[in-house]
Amino acid sequence: MTYTKLFEKWVNSPALTEEEREQLLQVTNEEEKEDRFYKELEFGTAGLRGKVGMGTNRMNRFIIGRASKAMAQTIIDNGLQEKGIAIAHDCRLFSKEFAKLSALVMASNGIKAYLFEDLRPTPELSFAIRYLGTASGINITASHNPKEYNGYKVYWEEGSQIKSNISDKVLEYINSMDVFAEYVTITEEEAIEKGLLVYIGEEIDEEFYKQAIAQTINDDEIDKNISVVYTPLNGAGYKAVTTVLDRRGFKNVHIVEEQKDADGTFPTVEYPNPEDVAAFEYAERLAEKVNADIIIATDPDCDRLAVEVVHNGKIVSINGNQAGAILVQYVVENLYKKGKLPENPVIVKSIVTSKMVEPLCKEYGIEVVDVLTGFKNIAALPNEYDITKEKNYVMGYEESIGYNIGTFVRDKDGVTIAMMLVEAAAFYKKQGLTLVDVLEQFYKKYGYYLDNTISVTLEGASGAKRISRMMEKIREIYAKEINGAEILTVTDYLKEKELDVKTGEEKAISIEKTDAVKFAYADETWYTLRPSGTEPKIKLYIYVRGEDKQQAEDKLKSVEKSVLDLLYSIE
């Protein structure tokens, strides 16, 4: 069906309220109309994510209701309906309404819904699934996307996000269902009376905080008076992060007042993503007033965290790879010193995350495992070790400022990592060092690893087609040499093969299929391209290693120019 016919079908549907119909009738721009209806909002392993509004390619009550019915049926098919489901939401527009709708669809299908009474951080939902022993979990969140977006993130009984074996089944059901069918057949009052809707909150909070604090490594040999500035960016992190820091004894914590309260319009930032240094504007102002040592920011659902450091009187931004290396070094060295490093330890990172921790981990006999992007793939390893007992997961992370330590949460955890980063900064402060000093020492020992992630945004139907062409063509026209270093291998994760460019030989790779391709060169330079799974972007990840900072910076610029010139030449 064409987008114009779908538009007419929606406008004329009796399921729409007059207000919803009026919203659609106000869409007169053809490009906007096409974008709303040229495709269905895709349900994948990241669930659903899109702009809020009426249309097949939008987040609205019809899309949420149908997805929840499909999820309910999938839970029933797996014989898990007696275990129930945990449901949470963040601060975004309509998050609370969508969460309640999801709960009532579950209750309508005889599945007990444990619904958080107000917003909670994403890692707490992951914890709640494990604590309550539910079959699944739903979080209404669009993470760090712009304010126009919302999302529907789905978890399975281990507390990690669903993988394709579940998402494919849900999608199959979605495709067989009428989007306008009434999937709620029970009132909130009836659901509560029958025990099919239970509001949860404080008990889960307390257990989550205890487990987060239990990840503490050093508590005595640190400077607890360290000055911390924290901003939740008007998201879901305020209560949990400040509670955990306070209970650990960090009392010199200053909150950015303008960004303290939950607000889905994000009035102080254009883009509520702490990966973007612009998000730190208010926090930096406060840091100067309170003589801060460290500044931390969590994204709207508090699963991701970014950090800045005050070093020699100047504010220095630390990117995801650098913060990951600092955390890995702190955790590994201190667990080792205390004799608490487990046998057969493993650190898990994504294929687009820097290799800079590998030489350090080798020294301590720690295996570093690469998995596909997305924390569901990182969490798959501790899930597996729960069963096999052959290895012990220590921590996992990815360059996009997502980190996790321990096994009580199976997703990115901005709450616990906020505590761990403050602990690390306080530990090094007692030695007269900032986190920048620690990073510099790391570089001097292991080499200067630098990286950059570049996102090329291409909106709408035409943008999606161009992204597809870019991914197809770059596999054919890649640079054979950069900075005098020859290309060694091309790893195509879609074909699940690695090509040795010199010999022409191909070998299979043991990693799940995805649309990504990696190019590696003789001087340890490598870069990977992949389309974003949640945004209209193609993402380029570049990594270089130099003997000193200048050499690394020069290499980085050269690689950026070579690859982007090729990419932009693809129309």
Give residue-wise pLDDT tens across range 304-339.
999 999 999 999 999 999 999 999 999 999 999 999
Q: Given this model, what pLDDT does residue 45 score?
A: 77
Q: What is the pLDDT of residues 145-180, one digit of tens each?
A: 999 999 999 999 999 999 999 999 999 999 999 999
Token reading at 451 = 């990286």
Is pLDDT of 493 > 80? yes
Sign of CA dihedral 73, 74, 77, 79: negative
What average pLDDT does the segment 488-517 reach?
A: 93
Query: Percent of the chain at pLDDT above 70?
Result: 100
What angle is formed at CA 465 by the lines to CA 463 and CA 556, rounded to 5 degrees?
Answer: 65
Note the CATH architecture for domain 448-568. 2-Layer Sandwich (3.30)
User: Is 80 exceeded by the pLDDT of residue 533?
Assistant: no
Give the model's pLDDT for residue 285.
98
Q: Both tokens of residue 507?
A: 């070998």
What gap in Å lies between CA 110 and CA 519, rounded to an integer?
A: 50
Per-residue tokens: 129: 């699934």
Which residues are the active-site residues?
Answer: 143
| CA gap 49, 374 in Å, rounded | 15
Asked if the model's pLDDT at residue 534 lies above 80, the reply is: no
- Mean pLDDT is lowest, of 180-194, 491-505, 526-540, 548-562, for 526-540
Would you say residue 501 has pLDDT above 90? yes
pLDDT in tens, 77-91: 999 999 999 999 999
- The pLDDT of 500-524, averaged and rounded, is 93
Judge if 39-203 and 448-568 fold alike in CATH terms: no
> What digits encode the pLDDT tens for the residues 197-247?
999 999 999 999 999 999 999 999 999 999 999 999 999 999 999 999 999
Strand pairing partners for 298?
Answer: 305
Query: Which string of DSSP letters, residue by residue, matches 331-375?
Result: HHHHHHHTT-PPSSEEEEEETTS-STTHHHHHHTT-EEEEE-SSH
Q: Is the pLDDT of residue 19 over 90?
A: yes
Sign of CA dihedral 284, 287, 292, 297: negative
Instruction: Pick one of 3.30.70.100, 1.10.287.1770, 3.40.120.10, 3.40.250.10 as the CATH number of 223-446.
Output: 3.40.120.10
- What count of Cα atoms within 13 Å lies in the side-chain half-sphere of residue 48? 32
Cα 567 to Cα 571: distance, rounded to the nearest angstrom? 9
Please compute the mean of the pLDDT values over residues 20-49 and round it to a whole number.
Answer: 92
- Reply yes or no on whether the pLDDT at 519 is more than 90: yes
Report the C-alpha dihedral over residues 516, 521, 526, 527, rounded to 10 degrees.
Answer: -50
Q: Quick one: pLDDT at residue 500?
A: 95
How do strand 253-255 and strand 136-140 relate by DSSP bridges?
unpaired
Write down the domain spans for the chain: 39-203, 223-446, 448-568
Which pLDDT value is given to residue 199?
Answer: 98
Model confidence at 461, pLDDT cuts 50, 70, 90, reads: confident
Q: How confident is the model over 64-70, as a mean pLDDT?
A: 98
**Closest to 235 in 3D by CA, of 184, 169, 298, 314:** 298
CB 45 within 8 A of CB 122: no
* Mean pLDDT for the stretch of residues 442-452: 95
The rounded Cα 433 to chain-centroid distance in angstroms is 30
- Residue 411: what are its φ and ψ, rounded to 5°? -155, 175
What token pair was written down for 351?
């294929």
**Burial of residue 316 (number of CB atoms within 10 Å: 0-12, 13-18, 19+):** middle
**CA-atom Rg of the chain in angstroms:** 24
* Cβ contacts of 420 within 8 Å, gap of 6 or more: 215, 217, 327, 330, 331, 405
CA nearest 427: which of 282, 315, 326?
Answer: 326
- pLDDT, the chain, mean: 96
How would residue 381 be classed by pLDDT, with cut points 50, 70 and 90?
A: very high
Question: Rounded to 10 degrees, what is the CA torsion of 259, 265, 269, 273?
Answer: 90
Distance CA 342, CA 349 (A): 18
Alpha carbons within 13 A on the beta-carbon side of 441: 11
Fold type of domain 39-203: Alpha-D-Glucose-1,6-Bisphosphate; Chain A, domain 3 (3.40.120)
Q: What does each C-alpha distance from 390 to 217, 383, 410, 509 come to in angstroms?
A: 24, 12, 18, 22
Average pLDDT over residues 440-460: 93
Q: Average pLDDT of 21-44?
A: 92
DSSP strand pairing (113-116 vs 197-200): parallel
Nearest to 377 by CA among 404, 415, 406: 404
Model confidence at 554, pLDDT cuts 50, 70, 90, reads very high
pLDDT at 319: 96
**Angle separating helix axes 122-132 and 202-213, nearest 10 degrees:** 100
